[in-house]
Amino acid sequence: TESEISFSWTESGTASSWYYIVSDTAVTELTEWTAQTATDTFATAAGLTANTSYYVYVQSSCGSEWTNALIARTDCAPIPLPYSFGFEGIWPDPCWGYARSSASSHVNASTSYAHEGTHAGYVYANATGNEVIISMPRFDRPLNNLQVNFWLYHTTTTQHAMQVGYMTHRDD
C-alpha cells in the first residue's frame, strides 16, 4: 500500500526470531539503529511515506550477520484530479505502470517531439508483436466517466496499433 511494505525471508539455520530494520536511506552502521522483532519469517512495516524506497535488513536473533538490503517501494498515493503530466521529471514515473514484451522495447523521456515543455514521453517497440503497456497512476476517484487527452506523434511509416483503455488496477 502507500503506507506499508510487507517482506519475507528464508531461515537457513535454526533461528525462531529475527530482528529487522527499515530505513528510507541505505544504512552502513546497523548497530546504531533500533531494530524491530519478528517471530515469523515475514513482517510488515507500517506508517511509511507514499512513493518512497525503503531498505530492509534482517538478522536472526542468534547473532548472524545482517542481510544485504532488500529494497521495497511503497505504492503511490492516489493523485487528485484534474491531473496533467508533462514528462519533465523522471520517466517512466514510478507512479505509472510499465510493462514490455521484449527487452528491446522501452520507454524514456526525449527532448524531441515535445508538445509542451522540453520533454516528451517516448515509447519504442521495434518489431511487430512487441508491446509496451503504460498505465497512468491511481487517481482519487473512478475515471470511467472522464475524458483523457494526449498528443501522439508517430515517427515511422510502419503501421502500428495504439490502444487506449481503462484499467481498474495497474496490474490488470
**Would you say residue 166 has pLDDT above 70?**
no
Q: Residues with Cβ < 8 Å from 20, sequence gap 6 or more? A: 7, 35, 36, 38, 43, 45, 56, 57, 58, 59
Cis amide linkage into residue 92, ω under 30° from 0? yes
Tens digits of per-residue pLDDT, 65-97?
888 889 999 988 988 988 888 888 777 778 887
pLDDT at 114: 80
**Would you say residue 6 has pLDDT above 80?**
yes
* Number of residues that make up the chain: 172
Q: What distance in Å separates the CA atoms of residue 139 and residue 108, rounded to the nearest whole number? A: 22
Which single residue is written with the C-alpha cell 550477520?
65
Tens digits of per-residue pLDDT, 34-51?
888 899 999 999 999 999
- Give Dmax (Cα) for the chain: 64
Q: What is the rounded average pLDDT of the residues 145-152? A: 76
pTM above 0.85, yes or no: no
